[in-house]
Amino acid sequence: MRDVVVVGAGPAGLMLACELAVAGADVVVLERAEQRSPFCRGFNLNARSLDLLDRRGLAERFLAEGPKVPVTSFGGLATPIDLTQLGWDHPYTLGIAQTRVEELLEQRAIELGVTVLRGHELRAFQQDGESVTINDGELTARWLVGCDGSRSTVRKLARIPFPGTDAANHWLLGDVVPTDFGAMSFGVNNGPNGTVVVIPRPGYVRVLVDDPVTERTEEPTLAELQSIVDHNLGRHVELTDPIWIGRFSDAARQADAYRSGRVLLAGDAAHIHPPAGAQGVNLALADATNLGWKLAAVLRGEVSPDLLDTYHSERHAAGARVLLHTQAQAVLGATDSRFAPVRELFAELGELGQVRRYLAELATGVETRYDMGAPVEDAHPWLGRLAPNLDLLVDGRPTTLSRLLHGGRGVLLDFAGTQQVTPWLDRIDLVHASTVDDTGLSALLIRPDGYTAWLATGNTHQPGPLTDSLARWFGAPAVCAA
Stretch that binds another protein, among 11-19, 132-140, 326-334, 382-390 (CB under 8 A): 326-334
Is 327 an interacting residue with respect to another protein (CB under 8 A)? yes
Choice between 325 and 409, CB closer to another protein = 325
Instruction: Round to whole Å and give the CA distance between 297 and 426.
Output: 12
Among 104, 331, 394, 471, binds another protein (CB under 8 A): 331
Region 190-229 residues binding another protein, contact defined as CB under 8 A: none
Choice between 359 and 433, CB closer to another protein = 359
Among 69, 324, 347, 478, binds another protein (CB under 8 A): 324
Is 297 an interacting residue with respect to another protein (CB under 8 A)? no
Is 379 an interacting residue with respect to another protein (CB under 8 A)? no
Region 340-369 residues binding another protein, contact defined as CB under 8 A: 340-342, 344-345, 348-349, 352-355, 358-359, 362
Least Cα distance to 268 among 250, 249, 287 occurs for: 287
Stretch that binds another protein, among 134-142, 171-179, 279-287, 328-336 (CB under 8 A): 328-336
Stretch that binds another protein, among 16-24, 64-72, 154-162, 336-344 (CB under 8 A): 336-344
Q: Would you give the end-to-end CA distance of the chain in angstroms?
A: 36
Among 157, 328, 394, 430, binds another protein (CB under 8 A): 328
Choice between 244 and 358, CB closer to another protein = 358
Choice between 136 and 348, CB closer to another protein = 348
Binding to another protein by CB under 8 A, coded x per residue (else -) over 252-271, reads x-------------------
Stretch that binds another protein, among 20-28, 122-130, 277-285, 334-342 (CB under 8 A): 334-342
Choice between 171 and 339, CB closer to another protein = 339
Is 77 an interacting residue with respect to another protein (CB under 8 A)? no
Instruction: Round to whole Å and give the CA distance between 319 and 452.
Output: 19
Among 157, 339, 461, 472, binds another protein (CB under 8 A): 339
Q: Give me the least distance between CB of 26 and another protein, in Å please.
A: 41
Q: Give me the least distance between CB of 316 and another protein, in Å please.
A: 17
Q: CB of 445 within 8 A of CB of 452? A: yes
Is 330 an interacting residue with respect to another protein (CB under 8 A)? yes
Choice between 132 and 379, CB closer to another protein = 379
Among 86, 97, 168, 177, binds another protein (CB under 8 A): 168
Among 41, 108, 325, 380, binds another protein (CB under 8 A): 325
Among 21, 228, 255, 323, binds another protein (CB under 8 A): 323
Choice between 301 and 353, CB closer to another protein = 353
Q: Give me the least distance between CB of 319 and another protein, in Å please.
A: 13
- Amino acid (one-letter) located at 437: D
Is 87 an interacting residue with respect to another protein (CB under 8 A)? no
Q: Three-state SS string across the chain, please?
A: CEEEEEECCCHHHHHHHHHHHHCCCCEEEEECCCCCCCCCCCCEECHHHHHHHHCCCCHHHHHCCCCEECEECCCCCCCCEECCCCCCCCCCEEECCHHHHHHHHHHHHHHCCCEEEECCCCCCEEECCCCEEECCCCEEEEEEEECCCCCCHHHHHCCCCCCEECCCCEEEEEEEEECCCCCCCCEEEEECCEEEEEEEECCEEEEEEECCCCCCCCCCCHHHHHHHHHHHHCCCCCEEEEEEEEEEECCEEECCCCEECCEEECHHHCEECCCCCCHHHHHHHHHHHHHHHHHHHHHCCCCCCCHHHHHHHHHHHHHHHHHHHHHHHHHHHCCCHHHHHHHHHHHHHCCCHHHHHHHHHHHHCCCCCCCCCCCHHHCCCCCCCECCCCEEEECCEEEEHHHHCCCCCEEEEECCCCCCCHHHCCCEEEEEEEECCCCCCCEEEECCCCEEEEEEECCEEECCCHHHHHHHHHCCCCCCCC
Angle at 414 between CA 55 and CA 403, to 5 degrees: 20
Q: Give me the least distance between CB of 161 and another protein, in Å please.
A: 17
Is 165 an interacting residue with respect to another protein (CB under 8 A)? yes
Question: Which residues in this chain contact another protein in the complex, by CB under 8 A?
Answer: 165, 168, 250, 252, 323-325, 327-328, 330-332, 338-342, 344-345, 348-349, 352-355, 358-359, 362
